[in-house]
Structure 1
Amino acid sequence: MTEAVQVLSAGSMRHAFPAIIEAYTEATGIAVSLSLGPAGLLRERIEVGERFDLFASANMEHPRRLAATGVTEEAICFTRNRLCVITRADLGMTTENFLDVLSDSSVKIGTSTPGDDPSGDYAFEVFDRIETRHPGMGTTLKARARQLVGGRNSPPTPPGKGGGYLITDGEADLMMSYYSNARLLEPDPAFRVVDIPAEFSPKVEYGLGPRKGAPNEARRLQDFVLSKGGQEILRRAGFLPVSSLSPAARRDHRQVNR
């Protein structure tokens, strides 16, 4: 009997990868084992020898690093996301007053943990972009940001708590978040999901890398993720399918990652 394909995946894929695996297993009969976590910490686990067949990261940096050291094959961009802000509805934040609200020293800003979790890296990239246009502001925002989740020492999410619990519990007035997660709170009148102004918004690309020497079943799973069916599952989960890139851009992704 073929062993299950072992996937280590960024936690933000938790609403997409189970559906992808279900469809893949139904189509092929091949079992898949899924472990979710912050991509930076998953990369560290791989580097110290944890067994895996396929690594799905919320950025391109981690799988590229593994490819550069010969642990994985080339990193392929398999989907995109975008960073946004979840706020208390009564905070009054909009895309237009984004900087005004952020610069209010009384507002508690929550992020994930840079280094351990790409979501935190993307949030700090927003602050770096702000710093470029408004010297001093981005540095101050970094200092004020509360790194509340995604770190090696972050407390686990309490059982039964929804995605906005850090806001409802008063730990933050707003959280920098992937849209694929934030969209689930859009129907809740207690929250508002706010787009980050384009000039401060980072490019959020997810990378996929099979282990060198991984079984063919892992490569078949990678191909399924990139297939029309896999990309449709990602779209329904709030991601932007890589198939929406132009053919030339898709070739560029592959050439850059070789």
Structure 2
Amino acid sequence: MYKSSIIAGFFALAMSPAMAQDVSLYAAGSLKAALSDVVNDFTQATGTAVATSFGPSGLMRERIEAGETAHVFASANMRHPQRLSDAGKGGAVTLFARNRLCALARPEVAVSTDTLLEVMLKDSIRLGTSTPKADPSGDYAFALFDKSGHAEALKGKSLQLTGGPDSEKPPQGRNTYAWVMDSDQADVFLTYCTNAVLAQKEVSDLQIVQIPEALSVGADYGLIVLNDAPGGATALADYILSSEGQAVLAGYGFETVGGG
């Protein structure tokens, strides 16, 4: 939807009245590092300022539904922006990136891809996830449980430690998942692979465990431009889908959908 020849015209558009108004971007927390870089590049190219707000996609959607001003919404699933589109609050939803789940494990946990399910099922293992419905990461974790053949046991023992309206927040400057693991709140935590990489950069002895193929759950990320947005909002959405924006996302470990 948003792909166009706009990349070539960014500098020409930068001074136009439609681009002069600041753009408000609401986005999934897992996109914070990547889209912060994309926004900086976009602002340098166009002169258009972008105010960003990051958090669990379900909670961000609720804030938009409650009347907060967002011009572009980048969600960690397709369902939340599609709900806004179906309600007539914006245009069509475009897939702009993909992610997948990994497991973070504390250094003392003996675990591998082949033994991950067995380890998660152990009574002694504290299994962390994000919060379903509020945060798509939690929904994807529960979808993994559904594929495991042990859904009731895994859902029953899961600790929903992040992504909810009342979830404890990490100290300023800390990566959420590094902090959860470093503060001994869980032994194994299911999160996006991109989050796991950032957590390991902060706490180097954390283990990143790939999910077995039989349990693998993919995450499709959706983008929508909302009604009454300034021209710069469509330009930002185009930029996220451009080769430049997609290269930044790829650099943070997202699977991209092309660009041009």
Secondary structure of 1:13's aligned partner: helix
Alignment of 1:35-114 (within 5 A): 35-114=53-132
Report the Cα distance in structure 1 between the residues aligned to 2:184 and 2:38, rounded to whole angstroms: 35
How far off is 1:8 after superposition? 0.5
Question: What per-residue deviation string (whole Å, max 9, x for no partner) do you get for residues 152-194 of structure 1?
Answer: 0111112354442222222100111111111124465521100
- The alpha-carbon distance between structure 1 residues 161 and 27, as it changes in their structure 2 partners (threshold 3 A), is closer
Contact 1:111–1:177 under 8 Å retained in 2? yes
Q: Is the counterpart of residue 225 in structure 1 residue 240 in structure 2? A: yes
Secondary structure of 2:108's aligned partner: helix
- With structure 2 as the length reference, what TM-score do the two structures score? 0.88
In percent, how many aligned pairs have the same letter? 40
Alignment of 1:1-258 (within 5 A): 2-130=20-148, 134=149, 137-162=150-175, 163-186=177-200, 188-243=203-258
Question: What per-residue deviation string (whole Å, max 9, x for no partner) do you get for residues 62-83 of structure 1?
Answer: 0011101110111101001111
Question: What per-residue deviation string (whole Å, max 9, x for no partner) do you get for residues 77-102 of structure 1?
Answer: 10011110000122111111111101
Question: What per-residue deviation string (whole Å, max 9, x for no partner) do you get for residues 102-121 of structure 1?
Answer: 11111000010001001111
CA RMSD of aligned residues (A): 1.4
- The alpha-carbon distance between structure 1 residues 189 and 52, as it changes in their structure 2 partners (threshold 3 A), is closer
Report the Cα distance in structure 1 between the residues aligned to 2:52 and 2:204, rounded to whole angstroms: 33
Contact 1:89–1:189 under 8 Å retained in 2? no
Question: What per-residue deviation string (whole Å, max 9, x for no partner) do you get for residues 191-221 of structure 1?
Answer: 1100111121112010000002322210011
2:115 maps to a residue whose letter is N
1:157 maps to a residue whose letter is P
- The alpha-carbon distance between structure 1 residues 120 and 172, as it changes in their structure 2 partners (threshold 3 A), is same
Report the Cα distance in structure 2 between the residues aligned to 1:159 and 1:220, rounded to whole angstroms: 32
1:138 maps to a residue whose letter is A
Contact 2:22–2:48 under 8 Å retained in 1? yes
- What is the aligned length? 239
Report the Cα distance in structure 2 between the residues aligned to 1:212 and 1:206, rounded to whole angstroms: 20
1:211 maps to a residue whose letter is L
1:63 maps to a residue whose letter is P
Contact 2:120–2:188 under 8 Å retained in 1? no
How far off is 1:224 after superposition? 0.5
